[in-house]
Structure 1
Amino acid sequence: MTRHEIELHTDDAPSADRREPGTVRARPRMPGAHDESGDKSGDEPRDKPRIRDRLRRYRSEARLTVVAYAVLITLMCAAACAVTVVCADAGPTALAVGLAVLVGLGATGVWASTALVRHTSQLGQARSATLILQQTVLDPIPADLPGYEIAALYLPADQETKVGGDMFAVVRSRHGMRVLMGDVRGKGVGAIATAATLMSCFREAAHYEPGLPGLAARLEERIAQIDADRAGPADERFATAVLFAFDEPDHLRMLSCGHTPPLHLRGGRAVELELPSGAPPLGTAGLYGAMAYQEYRVGYLPGDVLVVVTDGVTEARDPAGRFYPFGERVVRWAHLGPQRIAQELISDVTAHTGGRLHDDAAVLVVRRKPAEEPHPSHAA
């Protein structure tokens, strides 16, 4: 695929709730909340086994700490016995001093072990709670998406409780399938809460906005409202995002707000979809005056694969400081299914960094099924 296949798209379809295409302005509250029950699969999310494994690991770490300190206390008791035996042949004064030292060491050891065990337990609980909160925000991908296969994986950075605001969502709307991938600035519960608010806005607005510019404008307005409603000291709150619309036979539509360019896989080649003109991150439109969003059409044929990631993948570094070669690696797995591509990519990024991610990583893979490949629900 070459650059000239990316073309500006203008949607002139009439709508009772349209503004000038892709402009940000004050707007009335959306009609009543939409029932999104059709967008959620009753199946268990694919990433839940991964969550359980990670929680088991945290509990195991706490248990190992307890065992380690139990061994330490045992050794200190053994040392105490040895000192007692040695001091038994000494005078009363030396014996008293030895016993005082032993009691002090024992008390210090018990206090230190109790404190560290409590800290480890609290850390494990905080990690668990934050991970569960993040995974609650990330709804499972709808199971029934005729014509497409989609897989998504999220892996938090292995740095205590610093879970970030990576987000992705897939919605089946009356206008067609809509996909969001984004990354909120910052870490912790604040970033997760902002991501949750933006994804909720996306899931609802996707049912009312036929075009991506209108959808991006609603997200911009929502994050600006978060800042306006926020109590406490001022805080810069913004997010990168990329939006996709899958509702044309041989094209997808795309709009990027400062997000990492996705990769388009076709015929054993990987092409970076860097748009001719992109918008700034959500939450920064006020710095640019009137913001007009533009969406672009990209050729997307049966068998094509779209790989979308957050900067936790593209900016991952190895111990020597080299960035992860995203396009070079992904093309190796172009023949695999979306789930395998996502798994291989996450595993490879983790190996590239020496086993520890320094930033959260999210991967979303969309494959357009070949025409002759039936949908699983219709297979014999």
Structure 2
Amino acid sequence: MSVAAYLMLLFLFVVDVVADRSVPGAVALGVVPPLFAALCTVAATVRLATAATALAAVLILHFEHTTPAAKAIHLGVVVGLGAVGVWGSATRARHSAQLGKARSATLILQRAVLEPIPAELPGYEVSALYLPADTDAKVGGDMFAVVRSRHGMRVLMGDVRGKGIGAITTAATLMACFREAAHYEPSLPGLAARLEERIAQLDEDRAGPADERFATAVLFAFDEPRHLRMLSCGHTPPVHLRGGRAVELELPVNAPPLGTAGLYDDIEYAEYRVSYVPGDVLVVVTDGVTEARDPAGGFYPFGERLARWAHHGSQRIAHELITDVTIHTGGRMSDDAAVLVVRRALHDPGDPGDSGDSGDSLTKAA
């Protein structure tokens, strides 16, 4: 951009000399620094303003046939415009630095909330990724947690309404409640009830804006040899991968989002049993993935793309999915996105063998 700016200065200088020396065209040189201030660094803008002033001085002193007062005014205008350009460039650089610090702080906070997945999960390969939209340094309340409890592995994926500190605070509170309750509640309805009670308590404490105190969530229990159990509270349906096929697990009974129990007379927390054998993959995401759009407005084909990577490991699937979504949107995500992939080991020592259940069954748990 600096080269283009200097070429423009040279062009204006030559035009002024060749076209009509009596016209005070030197003032036009002063427009160049403000014009390129948004594209150049502060130092480059200073050099550009200096060059514009020097060329304008040559034109004014040697080619303009005006009074000394008029020449002084013309030169002053060029100097003033150069100063405006430098000020604009410095302001932009300062705001960019402040925004960068704010983004770094919120991302650090988000990563602190999303604790690492346990290293040892026998029989399972689990990977998770979080991709912030990074709009105005506001990070959303996407959340996931994996707990290895005495009842078996428990998994939570959720999305708190809103963005910023209020959403992150609510997400952190829910995840802390989940990590503790998972060790004491053997059933998913019991876990969901505890999370609802905690978010209601958070509402009573009035911590954060009221419109950021409800969240969609989906809970999973991995404690049976050839099945998993799941319960959804208004969350995006997960996808089950088996044999190159992607099946969306849309539950017959879907509880309302956490934090909205007060709006209903009665809530049924129904958990369902899903066939889950060695080699199967469960992919859970937030709506930042399913509602991602390309520049033309087309939604991301979630299930269709997942089938391509059904035979890969969990980490590869998570990375491929996040990369593909970024490409689909042209790098302009409108919402944060979280991805969690759970792959059942092909050779699970805890698997008793073929029990005759090899279909994509979905039955209500007792």
Specify the TM-score bucket, using the shorter chain as the normaliser. 0.7 to 0.9
Equivalent position of 1:68 in the other structure:
41
Note the alpha carbon deviations across 1:85-117, whole angstroms, 9 max, x for none.
Answer: 222245320232023213322332232222111
Give yes or no for the alignment of 1:245 onto 2:218: no
Note the alpha carbon deviations across 1:206-225, whole angstroms, 9 max, x for none.
Answer: 11111110100111111111
Residue type at the aligned position of 1:176: G
Q: 1:152 aligns with which of 118, 128, 136?
A: 128
Equivalent position of 1:164 in the other structure:
140
Residue type at the aligned position of 1:88: L
Q: Computing the radius of gyration over CA atoms, which structure comes out larger, 1 or 2?
A: 2
Equivalent position of 1:110 in the other structure:
86
Larger relative contact order, structure 1 or 2 (CA cutoff 8 Å, min sep 6) = 1
The whole-number CA distance in structure 2 between the counterparts of 1:65 and 1:144 is 50
Note the alpha carbon deviations across 1:123-153, whole angstroms, 9 max, x for none.
Answer: 0000111111111111111110000000000
SS of corresponding position for 1:235: helix
Equivalent position of 2:70 in the other structure:
94
Q: Please tell me whether the aligned partners of residues 227 and 235 of structure 1 are also in contact (alpha carbons under 8 angstroms).
A: no
Paired residues for 1:1-380 under 5 Å: 68-89=41-62, 90-230=66-206, 234-235=210-211, 237-371=213-347
Q: Please tell me whether the aligned partners of residues 66 and 117 of structure 1 are also in contact (alpha carbons under 8 angstroms).
A: no
Report the Cα offset of residue 232 of structure 1. Answer: 7.5
Report the Cα offset of residue 236 of structure 1. Answer: 5.1
Residue type at the aligned position of 2:43: A
Equivalent position of 2:30 in the other structure:
none
SS of corresponding position for 2:220: strand
**After the TM superposition, which parts of structure 1 deviate over 4 Å for at least 4 consecutive aligned residues?**
64-67, 231-234
* 1:232–1:141 distance in 2 versus 1, CA, 3 Å: closer
Bigger mean CA deviation after superposition, 139-148 or 221-230: 221-230
Q: Please tell me whether the aligned partners of residues 84 and 98 of structure 1 are also in contact (alpha carbons under 8 angstroms).
A: no
Equivalent position of 1:42 in the other structure:
none
The whole-number CA distance in structure 2 between the counterparts of 1:202 and 1:373 is 28
Q: Please tell me whether the aligned partners of residues 160 and 212 of structure 2 are also in contact (alpha carbons under 8 angstroms).
A: no
Residue type at the aligned position of 2:59: V
- Length-normalised TM-score, structure 1: 0.78
The whole-number CA distance in structure 2 between the counterparts of 1:362 and 1:235 is 21
- Length-normalised TM-score, structure 2: 0.81
Identity of aligned residues (%): 74
The whole-number CA distance in structure 2 between the counterparts of 1:255 and 1:71 is 58
Note the alpha carbon deviations across 1:150-186, whole angstroms, 9 max, x for none.
Answer: 0000100142312111100000111111000000101
* 1:319–1:199 distance in 2 versus 1, CA, 3 Å: same
The whole-number CA distance in structure 2 between the counterparts of 1:372 and 1:253 is 18
SS of corresponding position for 2:144: strand
Residue type at the aligned position of 2:287: D
The whole-number CA distance in structure 2 between the counterparts of 1:302 and 1:279 is 29
The whole-number CA distance in structure 1 between the counterparts of 2:204 and 2:148 is 31
